[in-house]
Chain A
Amino acid sequence: MSIINEPEDLLGMALSNVLTPSLSDEKFLKKTKDWKRTIVLEVIGLYPITLTFNNSEITIVYEEKPKYHLKISITLEALLDIAEGRLGLISAFLRRKVKLKKIYRIFTIFKFRSILFSAIKKA
């Protein structure tokens, strides 16, 4: 598995930095295998980026792609709190620290949470 582009923006670079150590991890690979999803991640007060998972490849781009499976808007504080285990995703959502678009894609939400936050913990 690989990140096929080199992001040039701060958020993209930070996420690439977080995901890279997990790319050779078997558990991580299992989670992302056969997964084809486009997810917009917007850090409130900063800007949105789009992560595209396509089987064994991830691309991270500096833009909000109009067609996505899920859009997560999150405060930077909440992102870090979730990553450090101080806050759960559901609890952040209930406290309005996270907003979700296409919320009905519940499996995508949980899978992305698992992918991203396990990578952050590993990094």
Chain B
Amino acid sequence: MTTIKESKFFEKINREKVLNELIKIFGKNNVSNKPHDLFPYSYDMTESTPHMPDFVVIPENVDQIVLIVKFCSEYHIPIVPYVSGNNVGGLTIPEEGGIMLDVGKKMNKVVHVHESMMYAILEPGVTFGQLSKYLEKHHPQLKYAYAFAPPYASVVANVLLSGLTNLSCTYGGMADWINGLEVVLSNGEVVRTGSCFLSKEFKEDNWFVRYPIPDLSGLFICWQGMTGIVTKCAVQLWPKKEYNGRFLGVIYGHDTLGEVLRELGRTECCEDVSAINSELLKYTWGKIRPEKFEKEPDYAALISISGQTKELYQAKLKHVKAVYSKIQEKFNQEALFIDFDSFSKLAGDEILMYVDLPSVLTPLFEWDGLTWVGSYANPDNLGPLLKKCYDLFQKYEMEPILFTKSMKASHYCIFRPITRYKKETEEEKVAELQHELLEVMLDYDCVPYKTPLWMTDIIKKRCDQNWVELLKKIKHTMDPNRIFNPGRWGL
């Protein structure tokens, strides 16, 4: 149930005055306080408690954002940045009311693509689908990547939260691909981080690297919008490769998967190595809570390989197959490693949704509830972690959906137990399951991402208390009036 509480800042300024100021900055057509306009901003698809904002505004330039930030600072009015509505973990639910800053509608330009230095400067509203189309049309030699999310998801929002992509096995999380940021600070100053700091004015051609200066971009990465409003972000692009193939590995056993994922990542021959449990494949064919038979495989590994030349591609494939076979031999299993497109002839075209980009995994949206405990995990712990989490799904009689991915040559991996559910009847049970999953994952050193409030409360109790104190100090320094997405991480 969406809650409506009188926001605290109305003690300092009345609702009408705020509305008038917003209209002055953004124009009448870009401001609303009508409940039917505000409602879509009050919730997301996860179990996070909805909360109504007081206003929504649609900015079209940085100057407007500077004005709203100065105004909000004066009256301590919360601002929550919002892009495409594809949120999880309550990241954009306005915990303390205030103003939704919907940057997705009009601040969605690809500002510049530097062909030779391979980066793009983006406004926050640019989506994965949009960037991909833009590059295909104007820079066909370059590519970005796709998140494990629909094409209408925001690139910058995912980058700032260090999401994963189909190229993460090679290049790591998306935050590693940031060259620089433009940010509006709580006092209304606009700052640029990364190599672009060298020029006093904005230039398009100096956003090529983030180091070796102090990494001020880090003040805004994975901070969930708590330290400033990012208005531009330079992301690294990658050269397109001519030869590409995608393959399916059939896996029996949690430990086998752990080893396959880690070792294939370490070959440095794969663009992507990820895996899903076999029940998820059954959901593809419309099965609801199907039985898992004893002799069925436990997981399907999805492997992408590419090469600039045919010889390079074939050499990579040969090596990956050899490593894969060796692992299967160790576990006394048949090495089933097949071309995914051929497999789709047998399994049906629906199965291609797992490898066709952008990913739109319709089985995940069977009901109105979808949530997960996403984490960066230690690949060495993956086997026992998969088993424990699988057993928890069984305990709660929920459909297990387990997703995992090798990151950056297996320096780490993604582990994400996902729950699809009926919000009306299963929310309580799902909340309990989520809590148990988190405790198990923390026991195995998983580092959660896109964290909802209940999760950060638990993490803060278990973690290094000096880390929490430093977090508080930085938040207070960056945002003394608590206007930027207040309440996240309990701050």
Contacts and interface: CB of A to CB of B under 8 A. Distances in A.
B426 to A, nearest CB: 23
Contacts of A79: 346
Interface stretch (A43-51, A52-60, A97-105): A43-51
A72 to B, nearest CB: 15
A19 to B, nearest CB: 11
Interface stretch (A5-13, A28-36, A88-96): A5-13
B338 A80 contact: yes
Contact of B250 (A18, A46, A83, A123): A46
Contact of B336 (A10, A17, A46, A120): A46
Given A46-B295, A46-B336, A76-B336, A18 B346 contact: yes
A9 B296 CA distance: 7
Interface in B331-385: 333-336, 338-339, 342-343, 345-348
A47 B296 contact: yes
A9 B297 CA distance: 10
A63 to B, nearest CB: 10
A80 B278 contact: no
Most chain B CB within 10 A, of A13, A44, A77, A120, is at A13
Contacts of A80: 338-339, 342-343, 345-346
A120 B297 CA distance: 22
Contact of B287 (A8, A76, A77): A8
Contacts of A62: 293, 295
Contacts of B295: 46-47, 62
B253 interface: no
Interface residues of B, number: 24
Contact of A45 (B281, B336, B346): B336
B282 interface: yes
A84 B342 contact: yes
B287 A45 contact: no
A9 B293 contact: yes
A76 to B, nearest CB: 5
B260 to A, nearest CB: 15
A45 B338 CA distance: 13
B287 A13 contact: yes
Nearest to B343: A80
A23 B338 CA distance: 28
B285 interface: yes
Contact of B345 (A10, A45, A46, A123): A123
B346 A10 contact: no
Contacts of A76: 250, 336, 338
A87 B45 CA distance: 47
Contacts of B291: 8
Contacts of B285: 13, 17
B290 interface: yes
A38 B278 CA distance: 27
A45 B250 contact: yes
A109 to B, nearest CB: 20
A120 B346 contact: yes
Given A46-B250, A79-B346, A10 B339 contact: no
Interface in B150-201: none
A46 B281 CA distance: 15
B78 to A, nearest CB: 49
A74 to B, nearest CB: 12
A106 to B, nearest CB: 25
A80 B290 CA distance: 26
Given A80-B338, A80-B346, A10 B296 contact: yes
A10 B278 contact: yes
A46 B339 contact: no
B293 A17 contact: no
A46 B297 contact: yes
A45 B290 contact: no
Contacts of A123: 345, 348
A10 B334 contact: no
B186 to A, nearest CB: 54
Most buried by A among B282, B285, B346, B347: B346
B399 to A, nearest CB: 14
22 contacts: A8-B293, A10-B282, A14-B348, A15-B346, A17-B346, A17-B348, A18-B346, A44-B334, A45-B334, A45-B336, A46-B297, A46-B336, A62-B295, A76-B336, A77-B336, A80-B339, A80-B343, A81-B342, A83-B342, A83-B345, A84-B342, A123-B345
Interface of B: 250, 278, 281-282, 285, 287, 290-291, 293, 295-297, 333-336, 338-339, 342-343, 345-348
Interface of A: 8-10, 13-15, 17-18, 44-47, 62, 76-77, 79-81, 83-84, 120, 123
Counting from the closest, the 3 A-B pairs by CB-CB distance are A45-B334, A47-B295, A80-B342
Given A46-B296, A47-B295, A83-B346, 18 more contacts: A9-B293, A10-B278, A10-B281, A10-B282, A14-B347, A14-B348, A17-B347, A45-B334, A46-B336, A47-B296, A76-B338, A80-B338, A80-B339, A80-B346, A81-B342, A83-B342, A83-B345, A84-B342
